[in-house]
Structure 1
Amino acid sequence: MVPREVPLGGPRAMTVRRTLPQRERSLIGAWCFVDHYGPDRVTDTGGMKVAPHPHTGLQTVSWLFTGVIEHRDSADNHALVRPGEVNLMTAGRGISHSEVSTPAATELHGAQLWVALPDSARHVDPGFQHYQPPPVGGEGWEGRVFLGSLLGSTSPVATHTPLLGAELVLAAGTILDIDVDTSFEHGVLVDTGVVRVDGDEVKQHELAYVAPGRGSLHVEAGADARLLLLGGPPFGESIVMWWNFVGRTHEEIVGYREEWQAQITRDGVVVGDSQDVADGRFGVVLDDHLPPIPAPALPNARLKERR
Structure 2
Amino acid sequence: MSNTESHAPVEVCRGDATAGPVRQLLPSKAVQLGAGTEVRRLLPTLGRRMIGAWCFVDHYGPDEIAARPGMDVPPHPHIGLQTVSWLLDGEVHHRDSLGSDVLIRPGELGLMTAGSGIAHSEQSPDPHSPVLHGAQLWVALPGADRATEPRFEHHAGLPVVTEPGCRATVLLGELAGARSPGRVHSPLVGLDVTLDPGAHVRLPLEPDFEHAVLTVSGAPDVDGGELAPGSLCYLGSGRRDLAVRARAGGRFLLLGGVPFAEEIVMWWNFVARSGDEVAAARTRWAAGGFGEVPGEPLAAPPLPPAPLVPRGRVR
In the superposition, the TM-score normalised over structure 2's length comes to 0.87
| DSSP 3-state at the match of 1:240 | strand
Match of 2:18 in 1: none
Contact 1:143 1:168 in 2 (8 A): yes
- The 1:201/1:90 distance shift into structure 2, 3 A limit, reads same
Contact 2:161 2:175 in 1 (8 A): no
Match of 1:293 in 2: 298
Instruction: Summarize the alignment of residues 83-232 of structure 1 with structure 2, pairs less than 5 Å apart.
Output: 83-105=106-128, 106-131=130-155, 132-232=157-257
Unaligned runs of 5+ in 2: 1-25
- The 1:303/1:201 distance shift into structure 2, 3 A limit, reads farther
| DSSP 3-state at the match of 1:203 | coil
Once residues 304 and 19 of structure 1 are traced to their aligned partners in structure 2, the CA distance between those partners, rounded to angstroms, is 22
- Measured after TM superposition, the shift of residue 44 of structure 1 is 5.3
Output the aligned Cα RMSD: 1.4
- Residues matched between the structures, number: 285
Match of 2:6 in 1: none
- Measured after TM superposition, the shift of residue 193 of structure 1 is 1.4
Once residues 167 and 268 of structure 2 are traced to their aligned partners in structure 1, the CA distance between those partners, rounded to angstroms, is 35
CA deviations over 1:52-87 (Å, ceiling 9, x no partner): 100000000000001111111111212111100101
Instruction: Summarize the alignment of residues 41-80 of structure 1 with structure 2, pairs less than 5 Å apart.
Output: 41-43=64-66, 45-80=68-103
2:292 maps to amino acid: V
- Poorly superposed stretches of 4+, deviation over 6 Å: none
Once residues 207 and 161 of structure 2 are traced to their aligned partners in structure 1, the CA distance between those partners, rounded to angstroms, is 22
Identity %: 50
Once residues 156 and 14 of structure 1 are traced to their aligned partners in structure 2, the CA distance between those partners, rounded to angstroms, is 29
Unaligned runs of 5+ in 1: 264-279
Greater relative contact order (Cα < 8 A, sep 6+): 2
Candidates 27, 48, 64, aligned match of 2:50: 27
| DSSP 3-state at the match of 1:257 | helix
- Measured after TM superposition, the shift of residue 45 of structure 1 is 4.9
Contact 2:49 2:55 in 1 (8 A): yes
In the superposition, the TM-score normalised over structure 1's length comes to 0.89
Once residues 133 and 60 of structure 1 are traced to their aligned partners in structure 2, the CA distance between those partners, rounded to angstroms, is 17
Once residues 67 and 125 of structure 2 are traced to their aligned partners in structure 1, the CA distance between those partners, rounded to angstroms, is 15
Contact 1:68 1:104 in 2 (8 A): no
1:283 equivalent in alignment to 2:306 = no
Candidates 60, 63, 73, aligned match of 1:40: 63
